Amino acid sequence: MKKSSIVLLVFALLIGLGGLCGVADAAAKDTLIVADQYDATTMNPIGHNDVPSSRACYSLYDTLIFLDGEGNILPGLAEKWENLSPTEIKFYLRKGVKFHNGDEMKAEDVQFTIMRATTDEGAKIKVFSQNVKDVEIVDDYTVILRLKEPDYYFFASLSHCWGSITSKKYVEEVGENFGMNPMGTGPFKFVSWQKGN
């Protein structure tokens, strides 16, 4: 709910400014045009830790959990979870969730996303991912995330942009260009980026 409100607020603001910058003319039904004071650096969720990039990513991706305005943890791509131990969380994923290309989001995507954040590519968000030990695939819709040591702040960090679930297949196909050609399961599908405009 909070995510939708932010998107609508940004859209309303842009329409209000339309007379000054031509946004209203360009805005079409079911289209969101995002302008920011600063340009995003990348839309690769683990390739940045800056506010403009995070704002853009929240419209394109979903996370396993969300935090509402009061800090309550809500189900996202994970419909439920259970703490198996102080270092193990079992996630039960929603079935039927589609990436923007039509592929279904599954456990291998969650494993790939989280483990990718622990590599050198995720150095900018290392503060969040450095305690991840591994992610075990139980079946297509269940994973067990293991930490190196107990960390009670880690779970909430999964709602941060770094926890945005990406398609293993798509990221591997696109490679280094992923940050400029993103694809997720979020409310908006990426169409174009006028960098520096």
Domain ranges (residues) in the chain: 36-180
**What dotted CATH number matches 36-180?**
3.90.76.10
Q: Where are the beta strands (DSSP E) in the chain?
A: 65-67, 73-75, 78-85, 88-93, 132-139, 142-147
| Residue 35: strand, helix, or coil | coil
Average pLDDT, stretch 175-196? 85
**In one letter, which amino acid is 194?**
Q
Query: Per residue in 63-107, pLDDT tens?
Result: 999 999 898 999 999 999 999 999 999 999 999 999 999 999 999
Quote the distance between the C-alpha of residue 174 and its chain's center. Answer: 17
Query: Per residue in 126-184, pLDDT tens?
Result: 888 999 999 999 999 999 999 999 998 999 999 998 999 999 999 999 988 888 889 99
**Reported confidence tier of residue 28, pLDDT bands at 50, 70, 90:** low
